[in-house]
Amino acid sequence: MNENALPPRGMRDILPAEARLRKTVIQQITDVYESFGFRQIETPALELIENLVGDKGGENEKLIYRVLKRGEKLSEAALDPNQLCDLGLRFDLTVPLSRYYANNHAALPRVFKSIQIGPVWRAERPKKGRFRQFVQCDIDVIGAASHIAEIELLVAGTQALQAIGLGEVTVRINDRRILAALSESLGFPEDRFGTFCILLDKLDKIGADGVIQELRSAEFLAEGVDRLAKLFSNPELNINDIRGVIESAIDPAILDGLAHIIDSVRGSVPAGVRVQYDATLVRGMGYYTGPIFEIAYGSYGSSIAGGGRYDNMIGAALGRPAPACGLSIGFERVIEILTEQKEGEDTKSQRLALLVPDSADYASAFGAMREFKQNGFEQVSILNLEKKLSKQLDRLTDEGFSHFAQWSPETPTPEARVLGKK
């Protein structure tokens, strides 16, 4: 095969069957979100480079696809590498949302509930299941400082997952401020909080013993590490246990607020959803300022959704405080799970191939097509009848058609016949 026919490394072509699944899943998720009053918006794929950098996206800033200036501006900037680029492809949907809200807030409701579903780009090392272009699926609430935002995001998110067939999920909830208070109470320096979070975030991969060992290797205070190890030894660790450790380092209202979120979500989500406090949940993005959450499905290792409160980002773009909270479904992970679950199933839809000779009266054939659609066929394709009918029918079966019909002037309303039956 000509190598020029391949997509760029880390990119991929989507074949029709997966494209249809993706479209269906997006519609199902959107229908649920719109029933909660969320409204769809769109932002450009390209943003000004200054809106993408400045520690807004943490490590993702290193993965930006930067766009060179054009024409004379490129020639003028050629001597200074730092001036070569003025645009970049968005690496997530949250940073563009901040710019969007700053630009359009006067035309939006005081509490704005948005849906964003679209591709983002990151120049990371490709590997199985990870691509340089992928779809993100976000909902955000801007302007609501109360916990109703977190609660609604999680209720809407779990209902959306249930709508696409992933109802048996576990919601894990924590708060970045509680993590900061825990780090302080253990005697760890404030300037090492980021390192503490990075190591704690490895818990799922290396286990509690591995995290404790890495904290010791990183020369965190031994007494604090010992106290953390004791906390980890409690399999039923709850908010009250943490309260006893950090109460002198945090406003009690923060702990009460998180307990309120957990109780409210637990009483509002669909059946089959487990909701729990997770003292070790970190979330990677540094812009989170309050409650954070992740959603996991069954025995699949990684989370399929996550988010949290990020009260400073929108305000920085707007020039005044603006509380914000969001949830992102890992769309590509969800599609991977659904595709895996459907393997081996008979997933053929009602697709009919209407076979017509070259000399057909196409107006009459299209009339027959309309009748088949009215009679319940989801898709009807008009195809030329080939000389070797049996081979054509075998190929149509392989291509996912469920039925066929042969149109002719003598049979202008042909009968649909099941493919694959002799």
Q: CA-CA distance, 349 to 329, in Å (whole number)?
A: 27
pLDDT of residue 212 exceeding 80, the answer is yes
Q: CA-CA distance, 123 to 61, in Å (whole number)?
A: 10
170 — pLDDT class (breaks 50, 70, 90): very high
pLDDT at position 307 is 96
Closest CA to 253 of 171, 166, 181: 181
Q: Domains of the chain, with CATH numbers?
A: 3-45+90-342 (3.30.930.10), 351-418 (no CATH)
pLDDT of residue 123 exceeding 90, the answer is yes
pLDDT, the chain, mean: 89
pLDDT in tens, 291-313: 999 999 988 878 999 999 999 99
pLDDT at position 420 is 79
Query: Is the model more confident about 400 or about 286?
Result: 400
pLDDT at position 196 is 87
Q: What is the pTM of this model?
A: 0.85
366 close to 379: Cβ distance less than 8 angstroms: no
Q: CA-CA distance, 280 to 197, in Å (whole number)?
A: 9
Q: Parallel, antiparallel, or unpaired for β 85-89 and 46-48? A: antiparallel
Lowest mean pLDDT among 105-109, 287-291, 347-351: 347-351
Q: Which two tokens stand for residue 382?
A: 């008009």
Backbone angles phi, psi at 25, to 5 degrees: -65, -45
pLDDT of residue 81 exceeding 80, the answer is no
277 close to 163: Cβ distance less than 8 angstroms: no
Q: Residues 354-374: what's their mean pLDDT?
A: 89
The fraction of the chain above a pLDDT of 70, given in percent, is 94
Q: Residues 142-169: what's their mean pLDDT?
A: 96
**Interior/surface letters 221-255, b for 16+ CB within 10 angstroms, e for the rest:** eeebbebbbebbeeeeeebeebeebbeeebeeebb
pLDDT of residue 355 exceeding 90, the answer is yes
